[in-house]
Amino acid sequence: NLLFFLFLETVSVLASRVVVEGCPLGQFPCGNMSVCLPQVLQCNGHRDCKNGADEEHCDDLPFHCCYYSFTIQPEPVIMCLMICFLALQQYPVSCDCTKTEVECVGVNLRVVPHLSSNVTWLSLKSNDLRELPDDVFSKYIDLQRLFLQNNSIHTVSSHAFSGLFRLRKLFLSQNFITSLGPDVFSDLHKLQWLVLDQNPLRSISHDIFTGLKSLIFLSMVNTSLVELSELSLCKYMPLLSWLDFAENQINVLNSSTFLACSELTVLSLRDNKIKTLPENTFQSLQALAELDLSCNRIADLPNSIFENLKSLLKLNISHNPLLRIHAGHFDHLVQLESLGLEDIEIPAIQTKMFLPMGKLTYIYFKDFQYCSYVPHVRKCKPNTDGISSFEDLLANVILRVSVWVMAFITCFGNLFVIGMRSCIRAENNLHAVCIKVLCCADCLMGVYLFFLGVFDVKFRGEYNRNALLWMESQECRTIGFLAMLSSEVSVLLLTYLTLEKFLVIMFPFSHLRPGKLQTGVVLVSIWLLGLLIAGIPLLSDDLFGNYYGRNGVCFPLHSDRLEKPTAKGYSTGIFLGDSFCLFV
Ligand SMILES: *[C@@H]1O[C@H](CO)[C@@H](O)[C@H](O)[C@H]1NC(C)=O
Ligand SMILES: *[C@@H]1O[C@H](CO)[C@@H](O)[C@H](O)[C@H]1NC(C)=O
Ligand SMILES: *[C@@H]1O[C@H](CO)[C@@H](O)[C@H](O)[C@H]1NC(C)=O
Ligand SMILES: *[C@@H]1O[C@H](CO)[C@@H](O)[C@H](O)[C@H]1NC(C)=O
Ligand SMILES: *[C@@H]1O[C@H](CO)[C@@H](O)[C@H](O)[C@H]1NC(C)=O
Ligand SMILES: *[C@@H]1O[C@H](CO)[C@@H](O)[C@H](O)[C@H]1NC(C)=O
Encode pLDDT of 344-362 as tens digits: 998 888 899 999 999 999 9
- Minimum CA distance residue for ligand 1 atom 1: 32
569 against 228, higher pLDDT: 228
**What pLDDT is stored for residue 6 in this prediction?**
38
Q: Is 139 strand, coil or helix? A: coil
End-to-end CA distance of the chain: 86
Instruction: State the pLDDT confidence band at 11, using cuts at 50, 70 and 90.
Output: very low
Taking CA 209 as the corner, what is the angle to CA 281 and CA 138, rounded to the nearest 5 degrees?
Answer: 165
- Minimum CA distance residue for ligand 4 atom 9: 198
Q: Which atom of ligand 4 is the closest one to the Cα of 222? A: 1
**What pLDDT is stored for residue 554 in this prediction?**
85
- Contact status, residue 304 vs residue 328, Cβ threshold 8 Å: no
- Minimum CA distance residue for ligand 5 atom 1: 254
Q: What integer is the mean pLDDT of 169-187?
A: 93
**What pLDDT is stored for residue 541 in this prediction?**
76
> Is the distance from the beta carbon of residue 27 to the nearest atom of ligand 5 less than 6 Å?
no
Q: Is 176 strand, coil or helix? A: coil
- Minimum CA distance residue for ligand 6 atom 2: 294
Smallest-distance ligand from the CA of 100: 2
- Contact status, residue 178 vs residue 155, Cβ threshold 8 Å: no
Pocket of ligand 4 (CB under 6 A): 198, 200, 222, 247
Q: Which atom of ligand 6 is the closest one to the Cα of 364? A: 13
- The answer, yes or no, to whether the previous bond of 74 is cis (omega within 30 of 0) is yes
Q: Does the predicted TM-score (pTM) go above 0.85?
A: no
Q: What integer is the mean pLDDT of 1-8?
A: 39
pLDDT at 72 over 50: no
The residue whose CB lies within 8 Å of the most ligand 3 atoms, and thus the one to mutate among 150, 152, 153, 197, is 150
Smallest-distance ligand from the CA of 32: 1
- Contact status, residue 228 vs residue 251, Cβ threshold 8 Å: no
Instruction: State the pLDDT confidence band at 221, using cuts at 50, 70 and 90.
Output: very high
pLDDT at 29 over 70: yes
151 against 419, higher pLDDT: 151
3-class secondary structure per residue, 518-558: HHHHHHHHHHHHHHHHHHHHHHCHHHHCCCCCCCCCCCCCC
Q: What integer is the mean pLDDT of 558-563?
A: 57
Strands (E), 115-174: 121-123, 131-132, 145-147, 155-156, 169-171
> CA nearest 121: which of 153, 77, 169?
169
Distance 316 CA to ligand 6 centre (A): 6
Report d(CA 400, CA 396) in Å as an integer.
Answer: 6
Topology of 2-56 in CATH?
A: Low-density Lipoprotein Receptor (4.10.400)
pLDDT at 144 over 70: yes
Cα 133 to chain centroid distance, Å, stands at 39
Q: Is 478 strand, coil or helix? A: helix
> Is the distance from the beta carbon of residue 118 to the nearest atom of ligand 2 less than 6 Å?
yes
Report d(CA 163, CA 140) in Å as an integer.
Answer: 8
pLDDT at 559 over 80: no
Query: What does the DSSP 8-state code read for residue 193?
Result: E
Q: Is 305 strand, coil or helix? A: coil
Distance 317 CA to ligand 6 centre (A): 8
Give the range with max mean pLDDT: 83-97, 112-126, 509-523: 112-126
**What pLDDT is stored for residue 51 in this prediction?**
79
Percent of the chain with pLDDT over 90: 35
Q: Which atom of ligand 4 is the closest one to the Cα of 200? A: 5
Distance 276 CA to ligand 5 centre (A): 13
**What pLDDT is stored for residue 79 in this prediction?**
37
Report d(CA 153, CA 137) in Å as an integer.
Answer: 15
Sign of CA dihedral 552, 580, 508, 523: negative
Q: Which residues have a Cβ under 8 Å from the Cβ of 423 and sit 6 or more positions away?
A: none
> Is the distance from the beta carbon of residue 173 to the nearest atom of ligand 3 less than 6 Å?
no
- Contact status, residue 229 vs residue 204, Cβ threshold 8 Å: yes
- Minimum CA distance residue for ligand 4 atom 2: 198
The residue whose CB lies within 8 Å of the most ligand 1 atoms, and thus the one to mutate among 30, 32, 47, 49, is 32
Residue 193, φ and ψ in degrees, nearest 5: -120, 135
Cα→Cα distances 44→49, 57, 87, Å: 12, 12, 9
> Is the distance from the beta carbon of residue 413 to the nearest atom of ligand 5 less than 6 Å?
no
- What are the beta bridge partners of residue 266? 242, 290
Residue 340, φ and ψ in degrees, nearest 5: -105, 115
> Is the distance from the beta carbon of residue 31 to the nearest atom of ligand 1 less than 6 Å?
yes
Report d(CA 540, CA 518) in Å as an integer.
Answer: 34
The residue whose CB lies within 8 Å of the most ligand 4 atoms, and thus the one to mutate among 153, 195, 198, is 198
- Minimum CA distance residue for ligand 3 atom 4: 126
- What are the beta bridge partners of residue 268? 244, 292
Q: How many residues does the chain have?
A: 584
**What pLDDT is stored for residue 7 in this prediction?**
40
pLDDT at 68 over 60: no
Chain segment 500-548, per-residue pLDDT in tens: 888 888 777 766 667 788 888 888 998 999 898 888 888 877 777 778 8
Least confident of 77-81, 104-108, 395-399, 487-491: 77-81
Residue 26, φ and ψ in degrees, nearest 5: 95, -5
The residue whose CB lies within 8 Å of the most ligand 5 atoms, and thus the one to mutate among 206, 233, 255, is 255
Q: What integer is the mean pLDDT of 46-55?
A: 76
Distance 204 CA to ligand 3 centre (A): 26
Q: Which residues have a Cβ under 8 Å from the Cβ of 575 and sit 6 or more positions away?
A: 558
Report d(CA 370, CA 307) in Å as an integer.
Answer: 24
> CA nearest 206: which of 279, 149, 259?
259
3-class secondary structure per residue, 338-407: EEECCCCCCCCCCHHHCCCCCCCCEEECCCHHHHHHCCCCCEEECCECCCCECCCCCCCHHHHHHHHHHH
Q: Which atom of ligand 1 is the closest one to the Cα of 53? A: 5
pLDDT at 286 over 60: yes
- Contact status, residue 94 vs residue 105, Cβ threshold 8 Å: no
**What pLDDT is stored for residue 386 in this prediction?**
79
The residue whose CB lies within 8 Å of the most ligand 2 atoms, and thus the one to mutate among 72, 79, 116, 117, is 116
> Is the distance from the beta carbon of residue 67 to the nearest atom of ligand 2 less than 6 Å?
no
* Angle subtended by helix axes 516-539 and 565-583, to nearest 10: 160
Chain segment 410-464, per-residue pLDDT in tens: 888 888 888 887 787 666 777 788 888 888 888 888 888 999 899 999 998 888 8
**What pLDDT is stored for residue 534 in this prediction?**
86
Report d(CA 411, CA 271) in Å as an integer.
Answer: 55
**What does pLDDT average to over the chain?**
82
> Is the distance from the beta carbon of residue 107 to the nearest atom of ligand 3 less than 6 Å?
no
Taking CA 534 as the corner, what is the angle to CA 531 and CA 537, rounded to the nearest 5 degrees?
Answer: 130
pLDDT at 396 over 50: yes
**Domain definitions of the chain by residue range:** 2-56, 397-583
pLDDT at 135 over 50: yes
**What pLDDT is stored for residue 426 in this prediction?**
62
Least confident of 162-171, 254-263, 428-437, 466-475: 428-437
Taking CA 310 as the corner, what is the angle to CA 351 and CA 261, rounded to the nearest 5 degrees?
Answer: 140
Q: What integer is the mean pLDDT of 387-413?
A: 87
- Contact status, residue 254 vs residue 228, Cβ threshold 8 Å: yes
pLDDT at 78 over 50: no
> Is the distance from the beta carbon of residue 302 to the nearest atom of ligand 5 less than 6 Å?
no
Residue 13, φ and ψ in degrees, nearest 5: -65, -45
- How does strand 121-123 pair with strand 101-103? parallel
**CATH architecture of the domain covering 397-583:** Up-down Bundle (1.20)
Report d(CA 414, CA 169) in Å as an integer.
Answer: 78
pLDDT at 497 over 90: no
Distance 216 CA to ligand 2 centre (A): 31
- Minimum CA distance residue for ligand 5 atom 3: 230
113 against 276, higher pLDDT: 276
The residue whose CB lies within 8 Å of the most ligand 6 atoms, and thus the one to mutate among 247, 316, 339, 366, is 316
Percent of the chain with pLDDT over 70: 84
